[in-house]
Every structure is written in C-alpha cells, then in structure tokens.
Amino acid sequence: MNIRDLFHRFYPAVCRQLTCILGDSGLAEDVAQEAFIRLCQSPPSNPDRVRGWLFRVATNLAYNHLRSEKSRSRREFSVQSGCSAEASSEEIVIRREEAEMVHRVLKSLGERDRTCLIMKFSGFSYEEIAQAIGVRKASVGTVIARAQARFRDKILEMKGSDSNVL
C-alpha cells in the first residue's frame, strides 16, 4: 500500500487520537502530519503493523509537544478563548472543567494506562493495543480493566467519593 492510501485510511483515526491527547484539533492535525512524514522517512519493518506504529509515533510526538512550555501556554489560551456561541456560559464552564479533569487524570496515569484507554475508546483492536504497549494480545483485556479502575479511582478521588461520576 502506498503512502497516499495509508494517509487516507489512517489520518482521521490518528487525528482523533491526537485530539484526545492534545485537546486541540488543529494542533492534532499538525502532529499527525509529522507522524506521516516519519512514516515516509522510516516505515515499520512489518507493513501489517502500520496503524499501531503510526499511533505510537503520533502519541510520542504529542507527548513531546505537551512537554514544551510554549505549547502549554498556547493550550491554556485556546481553552480560555474557545467558547461556543451556541452553548450557555454554564455549559461551557462545565464542559471545560470535565475536560480538564479528564486530561489531568489521564496525565496522572502511567503512559501504558493512558495509551490503552485512549486506544480502546477510539476503536483500536486488542491486537493493535498489544503491539503499541508491548504485551501479548491475551493480556490486553486485563491491562485495560486495571487502567479503567485506576482512572475511575482517580476521578472519584478528585471529585470526592460521594460523587456519582462513572
């Protein structure tokens, strides 16, 4: 399969993943393009694993971007100025707080847990998740269940144990 076909097939999924990580679809598109450039420069040895390889490279690029102080201030500015005219001020504040909490909880989890959860809820197969995190396919269900439990515990801890969050 040529790079154009791979781009058309996987670009939307990579962008969705990166939007979850970065919280900014425009930035996600830029990082996704960089991942595809890297695919052209250094493709995976097994062509059957392109999707998992792209996800891993894109995720690493996103985390590198998040580590940058400059990008952190840009994200904060975009969250503050990203109000929709259709939603009420209260809805905007609630959505923003929920998104910030989810991002904080995801950030507090280990990289493997974070990757598993994002990939699972984005429709990746267990085989692709196994490849991305370096475990056997048979272990993915257990890893995801434990990651979900840690995520739930951290959300409850942040909101208070009397909250009906998840």
Domain co-membership, 154 together with 118? yes
Element (H, E) at 37: helix 25-41
pLDDT: which is higher, 113 or 66: 113
**pLDDT on residue 38:** 92
Is the pLDDT reported for residue 146 higher than 90?
A: yes
Domain co-membership, 164 together with 98? yes
Among 82, 98, 129, where does a domain finish? 82
Domain co-membership, 54 together with 106? no
pTM listed for this prediction: 0.49
Among 38, 55, 82, where does a domain finish? 82
Domain co-membership, 91 together with 39? no
Sign of torsion over alpha carbons 146, 152, 154, 160? negative
pLDDT: which is higher, 146 or 3: 146
Look at the chain and report how many structural domains it folds into: 2
Dihedral of CA atoms 122, 33, 109, 105 in degrees, nearest 10, equals -80
Grade residue 147 by pLDDT with cuts at 50, 70 and 90: very high
Domain co-membership, 57 together with 119? no
Cα gap 61→118, rounded to integer Å:
15
| Per-residue pLDDT tens digits for 63-109 | 888 777 455 565 566 666 554 445 567 777 788 888 888 888 888 99
Half-sphere exposure of 72 (CA within 13 A, CB side): 7
Domain co-membership, 17 together with 44? yes
Domain co-membership, 97 together with 70? no
pLDDT: which is higher, 1 or 119: 119
**pLDDT on residue 121:** 84
**pLDDT on residue 162:** 44
The CATH number for 152's domain is: 1.10.10.10
Is the pLDDT reported for residue 137 higher than 60?
A: yes
**pLDDT on residue 101:** 86
Domain co-membership, 112 together with 162? yes
| Per-residue pLDDT tens digits for 44-68 | 888 888 888 888 999 889 888 877 7
- What is the average per-residue pLDDT within 26-51? 89
Domain co-membership, 132 together with 155? yes
123-128: Cβ within 8 A, 24+ apart? 123/13, 124/51, 124/52, 124/55, 128/51, 128/52, 128/55
Please, what is the average pLDDT of the chain? 82
Could you list the residue range(s) of the whole structural domain that residue 51 is in? 1-82
Sign of torsion over alpha carbons 64, 69, 70, 72? positive
Domain co-membership, 14 together with 67? yes
**For residue 56, which of 22, 17, 27, 25 has the smallest C-alpha distance?**
17
Domain co-membership, 77 together with 89? no
